[in-house]
Amino acid sequence: MKSLIAFLLIATICLAQENIPYKDKTLPVEKRVEDLLNRMTLDEKIDMLGGTGFATKKIDRLGIPELRMTDGPVGVRWGKSTAFPVSIASAATWDPKFAGNVGGAVGRETKGHARHVILGPCVNIARLPMGGRNFESYGEDPFLASRMAVAFIKGVQQENVAATVKHFAVNNQEYERSFTDVIVSSRALNEIYLPTFKAAVNEADVLCVMCSYNKVNLHFASENDYLLTDKLKKEWGFKNLVMSDWGAVHSSIPVAKGGLDLEMPTGAFLNKGTLQDAINNGTISLETINDKVKRILTVIFKLGLFDKPVLEENSTLINSPENRKVAYETSLASTVLLKNDQEILPLDLNKIKTIAVIGPNAANARTGGGGSALVAPIDPVSPLDGLKNKIPSNIKIKFAKGGNFGEEIQKIESKYLFTDVTQKKNGLNAEYFDNMNLSGTPKYKQIDKEINFDWGDNSPDNGIGKDKYSVRWTGYIKAPKSGNIVLSIATDDGSRIWFDDKQILEDWNHHAPVKKSVVVKMEEGKLHKIKIEYFEDGGGAAAILGWKLEDDNFLEDAVELAKKSDCVLLFVGTSSSVETEGIDRDDLVLPEGQDDLISKVAEVNKNVVVVLTTGSPVLMNNWIGKVKGVVEMWFAGSEGGNAIADILLGNYNPSGKLPITFPKKWEDCSAYPTYKKIAAREYYSDDIYVGYRHFDKYNIEPLFPFGYGLSYTTFEYSNLKVSKVEGGFEVTCEIKNTGNIKGAEAAQLYIASKGTSVDRPIKELKGFSKVTLNPGESAEVNLKLKNDDFAYFSEESNSWKVDEGNYEILIGASSRDIKLKTTVIVR
């Protein structure tokens, strides 16, 4: 009898559990969320509003699992992974299928690392050519960026992984990103800076949105009602999760009352201590808290985390042949041929016996830019390795480094550092402060034998917290040789150096790991006084003091090799320490003497091809007239070396086109008049005239225009037709491959308004299509224009408007190479 009663009790409990609505996977997500929300206590709801580093909080009582996150967007930054070509490279394909393929591969690898959310894509417009995170985004045009972002997000989420569109909004510079106030018109916001986010929400149903660090029109993005509430949630109807960037929350009550749902990495401002009383006294409504929790739960349910076992690591999904193929094919399609005088490319191996491969980026696989997007790649292929893989053994490949750019810092050993002039103790005097400005009494003092620290997310000592501290090191340094010595410091967040009582370096900014260098004159055996100061704000922490001592003849060796070779492939560019989260470049010049390297090599060899590994534009005025070929390969991911080899050798015909204007000088760019002009504030005086819109309006000739890219073959455009259809127009034209090699061409559709009531750009991209053609083959390109494509944002009515009148339809091979045009009437 007792056993029967026990059996019936267990059966009753099981039946009751089965009938719990939120556990019933046959019910709609909305009903399951509502049921679960009603079972949560207020304490549990508040707990859900703050993260645990890279996850949301679990509620064990109700079986609510965590959402595990990882950095992206060009590969999974959780252990080692495949590095994919950076986002600006995906945009350079002018074919959304490649962005979609990358998204799918990133989604698979996210699952392979047992994570649920990838923190990408980054979709901010490249307003500033030196922007530290330009490589992470899709260029300067909102239409092109939207098509790429939508494809990437769909690719990720088809793998049942949540994508996170970021950084919302107008995070277009890294300089003072944590607090700068962007003053921007509502028209520029809606026409230039918000469309990609809107497309991510309305077309791709993105599951997560991440707000930016900066202020927008006086209010931090994390508590900006116009962005998070009026636009995102009300106008666009976003139903999913809004999270902060890491450390981007600055208040409790305004944030809790606003549109942000989840504070990351922890609930420093959104917690029981800061919110309980405000909820109890009605300052914050329970309905507002419920809405935030509901959105977090919605994503958890949509990913099916209540209905399947906890995701486990699966190494077969990481760096798989399928994913390596995606990286390789995207790199091929993204490579842009910028110059090809006398058809130096593809290389004719029948006429070549010796190839000089020169440059600091030749033997290094520069897979990506720095910061949270930098992937630890598995077996990355350098350009030198790729060429060796592809070129027959009867042709000699000889390598010269040409420079020491981008190498890991060589730490200064303790035997060269002294606490005082007696030289009895090696090392430097260290003072550690529990604040970021070295104020007050040090928390503790010690002698650090070397400055060679990577604290990561940990504290340097139990008496100092994990974040918001500073250190001062003082003492003496003695070099083993006389001469000009490159002194370097690599830090995560700010540093500054004094040498012989003179300040020689100032980098007192928040940023990801960055190396800064300065040349100092030292005498062998002489003690030189040195002081280093460092602060750490949040996230990772590192400080490494180094120098360059070795004698080298890199430049001379490169020139000598160039003299003896039939042709030169010169690999130059930037690196993850130059283009990185947290800082913008100081200028657009190739760093550390690479311009000089190109010029010197070009003086002794007439057959030079320069290959650029960058994430955004560089200046070329000093050398572009001296070389025959220029190729932009971007930060090309794990397979970049194999891809660029196939491009240079003609195994693949380059078809990439620029998603960003390459200027002749920084002063020609739209951000120049305002950037860094006022502390903590950036006026977007360029308004809607960003990128090619700016160059068109002021008739400025760029070095290479938006949409530009050459091919090893030629194309002919003809037979433009425009037909009125319901809701817009259908545009067709014919493209013919008139050369001797198979190739692909991206036809670009721009519109130009004529005589409308407001100032409009000279032209605006509204469509594109890429076709692949054999020699002599033709194809019809079919493009659609919706009536909304002719709209502008009216600040007077705070809405989109279409003016009736005449509009030109322009079909081009670039924004400055219009092949066909006609006029339509919009009514």
pLDDT band at 573 (very low <50, low <70, confident <90, very high): very high
Look at residue 515 in the predicted model and tell me its pLDDT.
82
Look at residue 405 in the predicted model and tell me its pLDDT.
80
> Of the candidates 417, 243, 320, 409, which has an alpha carbon nearest to the alpha carbon of residue 81?
320
Residues in Cβ contact with 569 at an 8 Å cutoff, skipping those fewer than 6 apart: 355, 356, 357, 358, 362, 383, 387, 609, 611, 648
pLDDT band at 550 (very low <50, low <70, confident <90, very high): low
Measured CA to CA in angstroms, residue 171 lies from 137, 151, 243, 580 at distances of 11, 22, 15, 14
CA pseudo-torsion sign 464, 467, 470, 476? positive
| Structure-token pair, residue 823 | 């006029």
Look at residue 16 in the predicted model and tell me its pLDDT.
45
In the chain, the amino acid numbered 517 is S
Dist CA 508 CA 487 (whole Å): 17
Are the beta carbons of 110 and 70 closer than 8 angstroms?
yes
Q: Is the pLDDT of residue 167 over 50?
A: yes
Look at residue 456 in the predicted model and tell me its pLDDT.
82
Are the beta carbons of 695 and 661 closer than 8 angstroms?
yes
- In terms of DSSP bridges, do strands 181-183 and 681-683 run parallel, antiparallel, or are they unpaired? parallel
- Beta strands, E only, 542-668: 542-548, 567-573, 608-613, 629-632
| More confident: 654 or 11 | 654
Is 334 in a helix, a strand, or coil? helix
Q: Is the pLDDT of residue 727 over 90?
A: yes
Residues 791-820: what's their mean pLDDT? Answer: 97
CATH number given to 414-546: 2.60.120.380
> Of the candidates 522, 459, 471, which has an alpha carbon nearest to the alpha carbon of residue 495?
471
Dist CA 775 CA 509 (whole Å): 54
Domain coordinates of the chain in residue numbers?
1-28, 321-407+552-697, 414-546, 715-826
Of 245, 492, 493, 584, which one is the catalytic site residue?
A: 245
Q: Is the pLDDT of residue 349 over 60?
A: yes
Is 676 in a helix, a strand, or coil? coil
In the chain, the amino acid numbered 729 is F
When the candidates are 3.10.310.40, 2.60.40.10, 1.10.3720.10, 3.40.50.11810, the CATH number that belongs to 715-826 is: 2.60.40.10
Q: What is the mean pLDDT of the chain?
A: 95
Q: Is the pLDDT of residue 352 over 70?
A: yes
pLDDT, tens digit, 9 for 90 and up, residues 135-149: 999 999 999 999 999
Dist CA 810 CA 815 (whole Å): 9
Look at residue 18 in the predicted model and tell me its pLDDT.
58
Check residue 263 and report its DSSP letter: B
pLDDT band at 407 (very low <50, low <70, confident <90, very high): low
Look at residue 753 in the predicted model and tell me its pLDDT.
95
pLDDT band at 517 (very low <50, low <70, confident <90, very high): confident
pLDDT band at 5 (very low <50, low <70, confident <90, very high): low
> Of the candidates 445, 522, 516, which has an alpha carbon nearest to the alpha carbon of residue 476?
522
Are domains 321-407+552-697 and 414-546 of this chain identical in fold?
no
Name which of 35-44, 288-297, 464-473, 708-717 the model is least confident about. Answer: 464-473
| More confident: 264 or 551 | 264
- Report domain 321-407+552-697's class: alpha beta
Tell me which residue has tokens 């999270």.
243
Look at residue 15 in the predicted model and tell me its pLDDT.
41
pLDDT, tens digit, 9 for 90 and up, residues 362-384: 999 999 999 999 999 999 999 99
In the chain, the amino acid numbered 766 is K
pLDDT band at 518 (very low <50, low <70, confident <90, very high): confident
- Strand order from edge to edge, sheet including 817-826: 764-773, 743-754, 805-814, 817-826
Name which of 286-300, 446-460, 661-675, 779-793 the model is least confident about. Answer: 446-460
Residues 469-482: what's their mean pLDDT? Answer: 95
Check residue 83 and report its DSSP letter: P
Name which of 61-70, 81-90, 253-262, 477-486 the model is least confident about. Answer: 477-486
pLDDT, tens digit, 9 for 90 and up, residues 73-90: 999 999 999 999 999 999
245 is catalytic: yes
pLDDT band at 519 (very low <50, low <70, confident <90, very high): confident
pLDDT, tens digit, 9 for 90 and up, residues 664-687: 999 999 999 999 999 999 999 999
Residues in Cβ contact with 790 at an 8 Å cutoff, skipping those fewer than 6 apart: 751, 753, 802, 803, 807, 826
Look at residue 46 in the predicted model and tell me its pLDDT.
98
Look at residue 3 in the predicted model and tell me its pLDDT.
56
Residues 513-541: what's their mean pLDDT? Answer: 90
Look at residue 94 in the predicted model and tell me its pLDDT.
99
Note the pTM of the prediction, 2 decimals. Answer: 0.92
- In terms of DSSP bridges, do strands 502-507 and 495-499 run parallel, antiparallel, or are they unpaired? antiparallel
Cα of first residue to Cα of last residue in the chain, in angstroms, is: 84
CA pseudo-torsion sign 508, 509, 510, 516? negative
Look at residue 12 in the predicted model and tell me its pLDDT.
44
Dist CA 119 CA 123 (whole Å): 12
Are the beta carbons of 176 and 680 closer than 8 angstroms?
yes
Measured CA to CA in angstroms, residue 220 lies from 94, 225, 247, 537 at distances of 34, 10, 12, 18
Phi-psi region at 250: left, alpha or beta (left = phi > 0; alpha = psi -120 to 50): alpha
| Structure-token pair, residue 277 | 């009383």
Check residue 420 and report its DSSP letter: S
Residues 605-624: what's their mean pLDDT? Answer: 98
